[in-house]
């Protein structure tokens, strides 16, 4: 068995214009001081990384690794959540998602998609240059506005949507395969890959591509009332990344899963800092350890109540306490005996 690596921290929600959050070295030193051993890097933030340069220059990638290592940390994964979102965008969201892309492709959905695909391919090469074997991203979505079947969907709409999504991702998956890196889709509302069934539909369309893997984040399943422990049983062989994020779901007589268009603090389903929500992390860490999960446990801080720095400080200790140093022997080994064919035959009455 493998001991889960960590604690790691996803930097996206912490980067800012003031020290120590305004450059990679200072935020690394801050994370190390809190007890983290790894960082997940958002590739869209120039304060952390020049993605194209990391893809094209092994020297630059080595320097980046060196900076992080000198701070006592490791890079856990790169993230292209924002770029992955733009691989597939329903026209209803064109203007809203333009902000994830450079201004020169705003208002041009085809150019924006091409830019996003190029970004993912850069991420594959950059991950290889950095010595990483997993990558975090979103799938994007063509079908999300049709997630509820009213008005009735035209026959074949869903099938066509998943085929098109797969056609866009297959060249990207092949690029990651050439680089020896798994693509870990965060299963997330707003994405076409938002639960187990939708992931399976996509997996079938990409011919069960070996690199089409999963980022496990139980918070999104709490908010969908999905069994997040059984999910691990179903998909553990594909889970290659892990966001440790808490959540709670408290439905009332006035609202449930859809939240009534309310702000995060007023929704029935809310993200919380680690330990403040309803997720059974002891069970999650136990299952992942038992299934030999090979990767990192990475804090993603999103909380509607607690401030980010408190959440980060408490999160490092929370993850440490939940990581199980796995055993290399059975507890009853002391009572065992060496293999004895004559004894076995005797016990089974085979003499």
Q: What is the pLDDT of residues 234-258, one digit of tens each?
A: 999 999 999 999 999 999 999 999 9
**pLDDT range class, residue 339, cuts 50, 70, 90:** confident
Average pLDDT of 279-289? Answer: 98
Identify the pLDDT of residue 188: 98
Mean of pLDDT values over 247-274: 97
Number of compact structural domains in the chain: 1
- Work out the average pLDDT over 331-342: 79
The pLDDT tens digits of the residues spanning 116-170 come to 999 999 999 999 999 999 999 999 999 999 999 999 999 999 999 999 999 999 9
d(CA 331, CA 303): 40
CA 165 to chain centre: 19
* pLDDT of the residue at 338: 82
Identify the pLDDT of residue 75: 98
Integer Cα distance of 11 and 120 in angstroms: 19
Angstrom distance (rounded) from CA 122 to CA 79: 12
Residue 333 pLDDT more than 80?
Answer: no
Residue 240: predicted pLDDT = 98
Q: Which residues of 264-296 are buried (b: 16+ CB within 10 A; e: fewer)?
A: eeebbbbbbbbebbebebeebbebbbebebebb
**Confidence grade of residue 228 (pLDDT, cut at 50, 70, 90):** very high
Domain residues for 153?
Answer: 5-347
What local confidence, expressed as pLDDT, does residue 344 receive? Answer: 87
Share of the chain above pLDDT 70, in %: 99
pLDDT, the chain, mean: 97
* pLDDT bracket for residue 314 (50, 70, 90): very high
Domain harbouring 112, CATH code: 3.20.20.150
336 falls in which pLDDT band (50, 70, 90)? confident
pLDDT for res 331:
75
Distance CA 267, CA 158 (A): 29
Cis amide linkage into residue 7, ω under 30° from 0: yes
Once rounded to an integer, what is the mean pLDDT over residues 298-307?
97
Helical (H) or strand (E) element with 194:
none
What is the model's pLDDT at position 330? 76
**Alpha carbons within 13 A on the beta-carbon side of 241:** 34
And the tokens for 119?
């970004």
| Sign of the dihedral through C-alpha 217, 116, 131, 29 | negative
Per-residue pLDDT tens for 19-76? Answer: 999 999 999 999 999 999 999 999 999 999 999 999 999 999 999 999 999 999 999 9
Tell me: pLDDT of 104 over 90: yes
Backbone φ and ψ for 193, nearest 5 degrees, come out as -95, 85
340: confidence class by pLDDT, cuts 50, 70, 90 = confident
Q: To 10 degrees, the CA torsion angle through 95, 23, 125, 7?
A: -100
Contacts of 28 (CB under 8 A, 6+ apart): 39, 67, 68, 71, 73
pLDDT confidence tier of residue 328, bands split at 50, 70 and 90 = confident
CA 170 to the chain's CA centroid: 19
Dig out the tokens for 233 from the structure: 């049983």
């Amino acid at each position: 068995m493998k001991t889960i690596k960590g604690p790691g921290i996803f930097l996206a929600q912490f980067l800012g214009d003031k020290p120590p959050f305004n450059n990679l070295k200072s935020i690394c030193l801050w994370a190390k001081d809190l007890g983290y051993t790894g960082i997940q890097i958002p590739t869209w933030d120039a304060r952390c990384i020049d993605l194209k340069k990391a893809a094209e220059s092994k020297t630059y990638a080595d320097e980046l690794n060196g900076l992080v290592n000198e701070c006592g940390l490791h890079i856990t994964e790169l993230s292209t959540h924002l770029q992955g979102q733009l691989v597939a965008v329903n026209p209803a969201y064109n203007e809203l998602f333009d902000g994830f892309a450079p201004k020169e492709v705003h208002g041009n959905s085809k150019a924006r998609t091409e830019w996003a695909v190029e970004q993912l391919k850069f991420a594959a090469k950059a991950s290889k240059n950095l010595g990483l074997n997993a990558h975090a991203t979103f799938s994007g979505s063509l079908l999300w506005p049709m997630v509820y079947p009213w008005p009735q969907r035209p026959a074949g709409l869903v099938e066509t949507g998943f085929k098109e999504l797969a056609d866009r991702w297959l060249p990207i998956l092949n690029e990651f395969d050439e680089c020896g890196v798994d693509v870990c889709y965060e299963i997330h509302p707003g994405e076409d890959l938002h639960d187990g069934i939708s992931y399976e539909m996509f997996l079938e369309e990409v011919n069960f591509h070996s690199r089409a893997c999963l980022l496990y984040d139980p918070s999104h399943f709490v908010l969908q009332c999905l069994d997040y422990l059984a999910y691990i049983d179903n998909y553990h062989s594909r889970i290659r990344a892990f966001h440790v994020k808490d959540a709670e779901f408290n439905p009332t007589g006035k609202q449930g899963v859809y939240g009534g268009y309310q702000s995060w603090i007023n929704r029935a389903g809310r993200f919380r800092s680690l330990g403040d929500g309803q997720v059974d992390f002891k069970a999650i860490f136990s299952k992942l350890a038992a299934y030999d999960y090979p990767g990192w446990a990475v804090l993603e801080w999103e909380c509607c109540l607690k401030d980010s720095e408190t959440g980060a400080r408490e999160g490092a200790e929370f993850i440490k306490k939940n990581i199980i140093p796995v055993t290399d022997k059975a507890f009853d080994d002391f009572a065992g005996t060496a293999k004895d064919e004559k004894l076995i035959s005797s016990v089974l009455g085979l003499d």
